[in-house]
């Protein structure tokens, strides 16, 4: 069997369900599925309670993309005996990159000129978006999808496009290699191998997921999310669009409708009832959701099914056709137009404006960028420069246009990087004793209205960007405090009410880092008889993680766990875990800052977490009083 990669005939490997050729009829129901999925994602980003599981909408896109791409690849091989990889990848670039490039340029320029949300913080996001590595960039830099402080990145949603593009790059290579190695590549063998791959991906999610902690690693990972795309690929062999369109398949439409209705009920239930911290999602729920999505796709792809006709309702179809642009633009619009105060409740009028602006931008993108470029008819202007470019071949024209756009984006990113370095330098000069973690943007910001360094303090900066305060008696300190940026902000106030305290605070610190800090302080004989743990600002943690920290401190020391108050949805989970840890441990005391700070909004800065001077004084006094009352 030949695998010579020559040009195929009119095969357009596009993830849309538009008409490709006479062997690939238009499937309007699939555009309806897209509309439902993108609306679920938007509702989730609007923080609507009815769409608590709206983040799963991305999973629908994964299954759908896996199905359509694989269906096209299998059909091309069936018709021509080969898969043209070069043409496939060129069409994917032409389909996806231009619209994203325009969005990146527009948003980056907007940030650069307005400095909305701190434009200097997002250059890394832009570079990773351009290379379709956003998901791994976020994983490497510990950027949480669920838990963040400060202005969120307007490019944070592009992680899913990175996962898909990585699949588009790797999957055809795997497919061609597998078909070449198999002596008789039957459909049954291929389905089995694909499902084995999906099972391996799902197993990696289960193994890497740690209950009670931020699930961003398994949510972002290509390895842990590939099962959705592979389930879609298996569906392309089980229910190829070509077979579904044959008149003989009309008899099976009722069965497909039954399966589609079951899948739709499961999908809608999970979109409404599950939440991002629901452990079941990462221990099988997402896999079940992908299977349910596959059932809907199978029914919607059939031109004879009632499910396909319902999902092919014209308004849904209209939105679905433009869903790529809607997805690209919705998150930047939400981020850049939402109030910075996290305590403000969702404003439906503002959200209606955001949704309208998103759709308008998506319509413009579809009409003037996506469709013209995909069809080779993009001529946005006819200036003298364009007239010189126009006689060139289409490939050269496209290369010039992409090069110009990329150069603009690179210039913006470089400007932002330079601004970031300059800002960092200025901050260092102004506050030489206060440092932030490497990835300050996605975690919380340190207090800007107060200094943690005073002339009487001995503050040292270590290589890990933590703030450590000690005096001459630090080696024999009675009290040691370990915490995050909240602790950093109250340091000078704690030193006044608890002289001799040793403080190890670090911006962005998680509970998972505390055990290593405890062991380091122990080795240097700087862990006091009384140990304060102030962590939980940056996200949830499991009871096991907390138990490890408590065990590392030891029962011979008195431990004070400070709970938290913050306008984030992991607040209650953190406080519940801390309260539970006190049970059965006579040497552990809960310092209930959450209750003590109730109705004291004037104590907090705009982020609702860090403290104004009055709040910092109250925090330090309350903590000192709690230690004294314990009699320890």
Catalytic annotation present for 22: no
Identified catalytic residue from 485, 512, 597, 626: 485
Contacts of 22 (CB under 8 A, 6+ apart): none
Rounded to whole angstroms, what are the CA distances from 125 to 134, 243, 250, 340?
Answer: 7, 42, 48, 20
CB 484 within 8 Å of CB 537: yes
Q: Is 188 exposed, middle or buried (0-12, 13-18, 19+ CB in 10 A)?
A: exposed
Dihedral sign of CA atoms 327, 333, 339, 344 in order:
negative
- Distance of alpha carbon 107 from alpha carbon 322, whole angstroms: 19
CB 119 within 8 Å of CB 111: yes
| Strands lying side by side in the sheet with 459-461 | 459-461, 466-469, 502-506, 479-483, 530-534, 558-562, 588-591
Contacts of 539 (CB under 8 A, 6+ apart): 144, 146, 147, 213, 214, 510, 570
Paired sense of beta strands 588-591 and 530-534, if any: unpaired
Structure tokens at 173: 């290579």
Q: What are phi and psi of 531, to 5 degrees?
A: -120, 125
Identified catalytic residue from 8, 160, 610, 626: 610
Catalytic annotation present for 610: yes
CB 102 within 8 Å of CB 369: yes
Catalytic annotation present for 607: yes
Contacts of 32 (CB under 8 A, 6+ apart): 300, 310, 311, 312, 313, 316, 317, 320
Q: Can you give the C-alpha Rg of the chain in angstroms?
A: 28
Rounded to whole angstroms, what are the CA distances from 619 to 267, 558, 611?
Answer: 45, 19, 9
Find the helix or strand (DSSP H, E) in which 238 lies: helix 222-238
Contacts of 263 (CB under 8 A, 6+ apart): 291, 292, 293, 294, 295, 296, 299
Contacts of 431 (CB under 8 A, 6+ apart): 451, 452, 453
Report, as residue numbers or ranges, the catalytic residues: 485, 607, 610
């Amino acid at each position: 069997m030949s695998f010579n990669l020559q040009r195929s005939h009119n095969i357009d490997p596009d993830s849309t369900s538009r008409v490709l050729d006479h062997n690939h009829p238009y499937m309007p129901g699939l555009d309806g599925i897209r509309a439902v999925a993108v609306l679920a994602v938007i509702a989730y980003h609007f923080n609507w309670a009815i769409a608590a599981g709206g983040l799963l909408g991305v999973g629908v896109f994964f299954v759908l993309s896996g199905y359509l791409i694989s269906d096209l690849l299998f059909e091309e091989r069936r018709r021509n005996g080969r898969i043209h990889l070069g043409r496939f990848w060129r069409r994917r670039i032409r389909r996806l990159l231009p619209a994203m490039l325009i969005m990146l340029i527009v948003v980056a320029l907007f940030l650069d000129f307005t400095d909305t949300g701190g434009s200097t913080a997002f250059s890394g996001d832009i570079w990773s978006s351009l290379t379709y590595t956003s998901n791994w960039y976020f994983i490497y830099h510990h950027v949480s999808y669920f838990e963040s402080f400060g202005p969120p990145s307007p490019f944070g949603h592009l992680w899913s496009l990175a996962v898909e593009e990585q699949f588009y790059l790797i999957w055809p290579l795997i497919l061609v290699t597998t078909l070449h190695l198999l002596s008789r590549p039957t459909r049954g063998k291929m389905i089995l191998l694909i499902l084995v791959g999906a099972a391996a991906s799902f197993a990696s999610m289960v193994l890497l997921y740690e209950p009670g902690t931020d699930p961003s690693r398994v949510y972002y990972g290509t390895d842990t999310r590939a099962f959705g795309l592979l389930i879609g690929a298996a569906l392309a062999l089980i229910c190829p669009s070509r077979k579904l369109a044959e008149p003989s398949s009309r008899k099976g439409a009722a069965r497909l409708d039954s399966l589609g209705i079951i899948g739709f009920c499961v999908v809608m239930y999970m979109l409404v009832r599950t939440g991002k911290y629901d452990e079941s999602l990462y221990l099988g729920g997402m896999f079940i959701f992908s299977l349910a999505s596959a059932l809907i796709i199978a029914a919607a792809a059939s031109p004879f099914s009632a499910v396909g006709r319902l999902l092919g309702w014209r308004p849904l179809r209209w939105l679905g056709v433009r869903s790529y642009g809607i997805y690209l633009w919705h998150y930047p619009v939400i981020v850049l137009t939402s109030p910075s105060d996290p305590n403000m409740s969702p404003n439906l009028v503002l959200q209606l404006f955001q949704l309208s602006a998103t759709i308008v931008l998506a319509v413009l993108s579809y009409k003037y960028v996506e469709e013209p470029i995909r069809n080779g008819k993009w001529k946005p202007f006819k200036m003298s420069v364009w007239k010189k470019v126009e006689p060139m071949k289409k490939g050269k024209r496209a290369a010039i246009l992409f090069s110009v756009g990329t150069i603009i984006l690179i210039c913006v990113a470089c400007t932002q990087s330079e601004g970031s370095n300059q800002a960092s330098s200025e901050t260092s000069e102004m506050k030489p004793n206060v440092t932030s973690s490497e990835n300050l943007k996605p975690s919380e910001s340190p207090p800007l209205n107060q200094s943690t360094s005073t002339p009487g303090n001995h503050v040292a900066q270590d290589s890990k960007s933590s703030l450590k305060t000690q005096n001459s008696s630090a080696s024999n300190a009675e009290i040691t405090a370990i915490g995050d940026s909240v602790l950093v902000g109250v340091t000078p106030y704690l030193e006044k009410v608890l002289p001799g305290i040793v403080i190890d605070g670090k911006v962005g610190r998680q509970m998972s880092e505390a055990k290593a800090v405890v062991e380091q302080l122990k080795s240097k004989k700087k862990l006091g008889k009384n140990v304060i743990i102030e962590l939980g600002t940056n996200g949830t943690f499991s009871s096991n993680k907390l138990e490890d920290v408590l065990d590392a401190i030891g029962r011979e020391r008195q431990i004070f766990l400070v709970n938290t108050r913050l306008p984030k949805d992991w607040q209650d989970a953190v406080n519940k875990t801390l309260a539970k840890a006190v049970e059965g441990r006579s040497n552990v005391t809960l310092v209930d800052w959450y209750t003590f700070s109730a109705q004291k909004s004037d104590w907090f800065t705009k982020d609702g977490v860090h403290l104004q001077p009055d709040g910092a004084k109250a925090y330090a006094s309350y903590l000192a009083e709690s230690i004294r009352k314990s009699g320890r």
